[in-house]
């Protein structure tokens, strides 16, 4: 029986606890939060026997095998170091760390100690993402991927999490190097990172503050991002983050030299994009029929999964956590290769470095006196 503990009892901890409860062979033995009332409410709702406000005390007394770090990102690195140094396996929510060198250090530390670590890139393990991976492995795309397009949107409003963040100049999100983007884009970047091969791809990023935020008087939060990623092998990708475009997509398309695939995370659909063209007018009539049939097939799959009680909203997280636990118990490879976690961190750091440079440039232009 694996003993699990959570550090951080906020919103995402609930999602973890729901999924852990559905996995056999493990149980949550402790929860920790600096705010005792947060730990109390979590333990009460999930029947967790021990609550703590200090991680070291929890590690010592509850002796968990695996720690899930579900705190705000600033504390991911120091907490993960403490847990690894105490000989525990660690699941770190996204974003994995604030800086690339921290990601590197955590992975090195885990490897030195013979421990496992993973990042909370759970969207990559949804049913539809796993179907896509299987097709790619079967060679559906052709020899290799040529280009990818990843969209990851977030609809900003004046309520909830975004309302709190926009209204509070000291909100923890504002302290992250990439601010709002840092907390959100990991899923969309990780999808690209999975299919790249280089450790250090070339990244060109352009960030903007949307008119919506400007009207609210916002001058720090970048909520429109366009990125081009490329590597020497010739693989390229576009990444889009938007708070304004509708629909607010969470989608990923990948094109090989033979065929393409298009995944829609929100609708849990996967469409095969046939590379070979039909002759003449057949190209106008046959593909729409094929797409309609694929739509029906996706519907059938989703309904089937629902009827089998395997279509929970966080099915990807359930799969990732379960795979991570199995990797620990059987000493097998972790579900997300370390080089992929590193590549995701490298791309994100490069994006945020460029956005920071752009912000400094804008600020310098504003301060420059106007010439007569």
Partner 1 sequence: MNSSVQNERLVGPDEVILVTGASGFIGTRVVQRLLDMGFRNIRCMVRPSSEGKLKKALGPDADRVSIFRGNLLSREDCQALAKDAVSVIHLAAGRGEKSYPDAFMNTAITTRNLLDACVTHSVCRRFVNISSFAVYANGSKSTGRLLDETCPLETHPDARGEAYCFAKTKQEQVVAEYRDRHGLSVITLRPGVVYGPGNLAISGRVGIDTFGVFLHLGGSNQIPLTYVENCAEAIALSAIRPIEGSEEFNVVDDDLPSSRQFLRRYKKQVKRFRSLYLPKPASFAFCYLWERYSSWSHGQLPSAFNRNRWNSLWRKTEYSNAKLKQRLGWHPLVSTEEGLRRYFAACRGEKIHA
List residues binding partner 1 (CB under 8 A).
9-11, 13-14, 18, 21-22, 35, 37-38, 41-42, 44-45, 158-161, 163, 166-170, 216, 306, 309, 311-312
Smallest gap from residue 271 Cβ to partner 1 (A) = 25
Is the Cβ of residue 21 or residue 199 nearer to partner 1 in the bound state? 21
Within a 10 A sphere around the Cβ of 132, how many other Cβ atoms? 21
Nearer to partner 1, 167 or 247 (CB): 167
Tokens of 352: 């945020």
* Residue 365 CB neighbours (<10 A): 8
Q: How far is the CB of 17 from partner 1 (least distance, A)?
A: 11
CA 32 to each of CA 7, 17, 42, 67, 106: distance values in angstroms, whole numbers, following the listed order: 5, 13, 9, 10, 21
Residue 222: name the closest of 210, 238, 240 by CA: 210
Q: How far apart are CA 363 and CA 24, in angstroms?
A: 54
22 vs 130, which CB is nearer to partner 1?
22
The full 3-state SS of 21-52, as one line of letters, equals HCCCCEEEEEEECCCHHHHHHHHHHHCCCEEE
C-alpha radius of gyration, the chain, whole number: 22
- Supply the DSSP string of 170-185, one letter for each residue: T-GGGGSTTHHHHHHT
Q: How far is the CB of 217 from partner 1 (least distance, A)?
A: 9
Which CB atom, from 265 or from 350, has the smaller least distance to partner 1? 265
- Toward partner 1, which CB reaches closer, 218 or 231? 218
In angstroms, give the least distance from the CB of 361 to partner 1. Answer: 28
How long, in residues, is the chain?
372
CB of 329 to partner 1, least distance (A): 22
Taking the least distance from each CB to partner 1, the nearer of 216 and 271 is 216
Least distance in angstroms from the C-beta of 303 to partner 1? 13
* DSSP per residue, 197-208: --SS-EEEEEEE
Q: Rounded distance, CA 6 to CA 58, Å?
A: 10
Q: Measured from the CB of residue 288, what is the shortest distance to partner 1 in angstroms?
A: 28
Rounded to whole angstroms, the Cα distance separating 30 from 247 reads 40
Q: Residue 159 or 367: which CB sits closer to partner 1?
A: 159
């Amino acid at each position: 029986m694996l003993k699990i503990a959570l550090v951080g009892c906020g919103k995402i901890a609930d999602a973890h606890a729901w999924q852990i409860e559905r996995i056999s062979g493990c149980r949550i033995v402790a929860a920790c939060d600096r705010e005792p009332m947060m730990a109390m409410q979590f333990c009460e709702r999930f029947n967790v026997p021990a609550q703590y406000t200090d991680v070291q005390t929890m590690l010592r007394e509850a002796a968990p095998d695996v720690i899930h770090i579900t705190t705000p990102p600033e504390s991911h690195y120091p907490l993960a170091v403490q847990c690894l140094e105490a000989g525990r396996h660690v699941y770190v929510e996204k974003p994995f760390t604030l800086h690339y060198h921290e990601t590197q250090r955590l992975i090195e530390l885990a490897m030195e100690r013979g421990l496992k670590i993973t990042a909370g890139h759970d969207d990559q393990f949804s049913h539809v993402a796993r179907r896509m991976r299987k097709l790619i492995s079967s060679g559906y795309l052709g020899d290799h991927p040529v280009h990818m397009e990843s969209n990851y949107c977030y609809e900003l409003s004046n309520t909830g999490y975004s309302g709190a963040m926009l209204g509070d100049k000291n909100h923890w999100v504002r302290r992250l190097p990439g601010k709002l983007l840092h907390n959100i884009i990991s899923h969309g970047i990780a999808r690209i990172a999975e299919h790249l091969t280089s450790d250090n791809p070339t990244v060109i990023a352009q960030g903007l503050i949307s008119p919506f935020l400007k009207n609210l008087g916002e001058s720090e939060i970048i909520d429109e991002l366009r990125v081009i990623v490329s590597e020497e092998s010739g693989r390229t990708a576009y990444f889009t983050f938007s708070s304004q475009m509708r629909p607010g997509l969470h989608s990923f398309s990948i094109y090989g030299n033979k065929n393409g695939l298009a995944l829609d995370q929100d609708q849990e659909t996967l469409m095969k994009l046939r590379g070979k063209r039909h002759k003449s007018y057949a190209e106008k009539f046959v593909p729409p029929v094929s797409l309609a049939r694929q739509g029906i097939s996706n519907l059938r799959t989703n309904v089937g999964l629902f009827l089998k009680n395997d279509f929970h909203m966080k099915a990807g997280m359930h799969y990732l956590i379960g795979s991570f636990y199995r990797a620990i118990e059987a000493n097998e490879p972790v579900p997300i290769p370390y080089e992929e976690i590193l590549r995701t961190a490298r791309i994100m750091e490069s994006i945020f470095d460029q956005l920071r440079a752009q912000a400094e440039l804008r600020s310098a232009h504003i301060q420059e006196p106007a010439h007569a």
